[in-house]
């Protein structure tokens, strides 16, 4: 019984460690800012090979500390996103000027 408990405890700690590493990952993208609302943006972005995403237009939530760096709709931008729950969120967005 003790071995079973220790095995389960070890498995749980490995799962938490794996999640922590995954949660801190971020990815870079390029695209065009389509719109900005209170806490989200719509981006038409190029493919993001690391995520196996083709080019597409999609909404993203902004992280609480997200910086838009003066980007406005129509701007070509680079952006950083991170995993957030079951989806992804924008951490920063920088216009290409």
Q: Give the tens place of pLDDT for each residue, 23-78.
A: 569 999 999 999 999 899 999 999 999 999 999 999 999 999 998 999 999 999 99
Measured between alpha carbons, how far is 80 from 93 in angstroms, rounded to an integer? 7
pLDDT computed for residue 97 by the predictor? 77
pTM: 0.72
> For the ranges 13-22, 67-76, 85-94, which has the lowest average pLDDT?
13-22
Contact 53, 91 (CB under 8 A): no
Higher pLDDT: 6 or 59? It is 59
- At residue 32, the pLDDT reads 98
């Amino acid at each position: 019984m003790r071995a079973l408990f220790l095995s389960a405890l070890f498995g749980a700690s490995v799962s938490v460690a794996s999640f922590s590493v995954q949660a801190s990952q971020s990815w870079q993208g390029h695209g065009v800012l389509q719109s900005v609302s209170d806490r989200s943006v719509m981006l038409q972005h190029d493919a993001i090979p690391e995520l196996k995403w083709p080019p597409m237009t999609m909404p993203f939530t902004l992280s609480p500390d997200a910086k838009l760096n003066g980007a406005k709709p129509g701007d070509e931008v680079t952006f950083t996103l991170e995993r957030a729950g079951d989806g992804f969120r924008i951490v920063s967005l920088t216009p290409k000027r």
